[in-house]
Chain A
């Protein structure tokens, strides 16, 4: 089973490396940001596999934090770097809620 886990971890690393091509090519900043999102999800999977492989349960907590941070990165990017028309930004359409444990309810 360890051999298989090692293979999966290696494969995930390869997908990470391939994602770099999209950062290289662009063409828009958003395309590069998508590669960052790819790194978030793949990184989480990689950490979970490593936690099992190396018997290090703490890596699961790292994965959890990474999952939360990946979305923060995209949020910061959209809000700060790549925002659209500032007037429209004040418009009525709301972004989905981001809180984890309270997310089931509607902040009126």
Chain B
């Protein structure tokens, strides 16, 4: 039981860590496209880790499945949203940011 508590704690805290990373990426990354990357990937992994952490404490099978369903929906939702935002930006002609020291290309 103690071991499970530790695993749960580690999952929840690393989930929180990825949420923080996603927000830092949203603030630090240079353009819309890279920010979509940071947000979708980091936040979805963060939510996934928190969901798996809470799964350990779930008291019934439907509750556990509901947690997984919520994660799945959030995954589809944010992948779709990220794609739509990136596509709209591309159609508007927002230029992707390029690294300045471009040696090999």
- On A, residues with C-beta under 8 Å from B are 1, 4-5, 8, 11-12, 14-15, 18-19, 21-22, 28, 30-31, 33-35, 37-38, 40-42, 44-45, 48-49, 52, 57, 60, 63-64, 67-68, 70-71, 74-75, 78, 82-85, 88, 95-96, 98, 100, 103
Interface residues on B, range: 35 or more
Contact between chains at B32 and A34 (CB < 8 Å): yes
Contact between chains at B80 and A49 (CB < 8 Å): no
- Which residue of chain A is the closest to B35 with respect to CB atoms? A34
The dominant DSSP class at the A interface is helix
Q: Which 5 A-B pairs have the closest CB atoms?
A: A84-B91, A71-B77, A74-B81, A41-B43, A15-B23
Instruction: Show 17 residue pairs from A and B whose CB-CB distance is below 8 angstroms, ordered by the A residue.
Output: A8-B50, A12-B16, A15-B19, A21-B27, A28-B94, A40-B74, A41-B43, A52-B57, A57-B63, A60-B66, A60-B67, A64-B66, A75-B80, A75-B84, A95-B84, A96-B79, A96-B80
